[in-house]
Amino acid sequence: MSVDMKLERSAPQFITHEPLLHMTNISKRYGDVVALDHVGAKVYPGEVLGIVGESGSGKSTLLRMMNLQELPDQGTYHLDIETEKPNLFDMDRYARLQLRSRHIGIVYQNPHQGLLMKHTSSGNVAERLLIAGERSFANLRAKASDALDASEFPLERMDAPPIELSGGMQQRVQLAKAIALEPALLLLDEPTTGLDVSVQALVLDTLKRLQQDRKITMVIVSHDLGVIRTMADRVMVMRRGQVVEQGLVDQVFQDPQHAYTQQLVHAKL
């Protein structure tokens, strides 16, 4: 089978909704480097989409675009959150910022990227609520502790600055911050990379529980197939800026069609 052949399996039949996230034809170059080459993605409400691929495959670039942090050279991006569904890449900077702060939550691999390390943990969560216009101190406290509680953060430490916390706790603060406004879309960029295996399992456990309780739509980027296997419903395999294979997780991992995916699934130390 040729390596460049793309395989696509149709969406499962029971999904009758419109996709919550719909990206088409995204391309992005950095100088001579093609980061994304006509990539499309659909995520359905309540679904968890995993994106796997090696370093430099474009998965993080794609996630940054989903978070509206970066614009592509071409392509469209629609989110099914309001009756009007404009192409988000066509909106002005301010409108994008508003939409992003209200409807999209993100957890970064590196907590320094997503958190104010010297502010209190509850303050980090409160910032999101403040952006949304909450101006009552009591409500801020209550909502921040709710969000921290939902991400299974020990509440007696809610006023400790993240810099004093362990890696796993920092990720929980990030998660609380991301879900504080009950976003339509939660993006996770290698959320458990760099954590030791037992902490990783606990954080994934929290994520899984949140996903089941709140039916949050998630996109999770990871190079760890184990993480994708536990978390995701569907998986997209990326390589050199292209989607080489996508489908249900079990399907893809049990019976990989593309040569690269086969290599990936069988790769063992």
Kindly list the residues in this chain that would bind other proteins in the complex (CB under 8 A): 94, 97, 116, 119-120, 122-123, 126-127, 130-131, 135-138, 140, 159
Q: Which stretches within the chain are classed as H helix? A: 59-66, 93-103, 111-114, 121-131, 137-150, 167-179, 197-214, 225-231, 249-254, 259-266
Radius of gyration of the chain (CA): 19
Lookup: tokens for 76: 């469209």
Question: Do the beta carbons of residue 226 and residue 52 sit within 8 Å?
Answer: no
Minimum CB separation of residue 119 from other proteins in Å reads 6
Alpha carbon of 73 to those of 39, 64, 78, 94, 208: distances in Å?
A: 12, 14, 16, 20, 35
Pick 147 or 210: Cβ nearer other proteins: 147
Pick 161 or 194: Cβ nearer other proteins: 161
Minimum CB separation of residue 191 from other proteins in Å reads 24
Pick 33 or 132: Cβ nearer other proteins: 132
Pick 93 or 266: Cβ nearer other proteins: 93
Beta bridge partners of 22: 42, 78
Pick 60 or 121: Cβ nearer other proteins: 121
Cα 154-125-112 angle, rounded to 5 deg: 90
Alpha carbon of 206 to those of 48, 52, 199: distances in Å?
A: 14, 21, 11
**Which residues neighbour 103 within 8 Å (Cβ) at sequence distance 6 or greater?**
79, 81, 181, 183, 184, 185
Minimum CB separation of residue 129 from other proteins in Å reads 9
Minimum CB separation of residue 105 from other proteins in Å reads 16
**Which residues neighbour 210 within 8 Å (Cβ) at sequence distance 6 or greater?**
150, 151, 175, 179, 216
Minimum CB separation of residue 260 from other proteins in Å reads 40
Pick 35 or 129: Cβ nearer other proteins: 129
Minimum CB separation of residue 181 from other proteins in Å reads 12
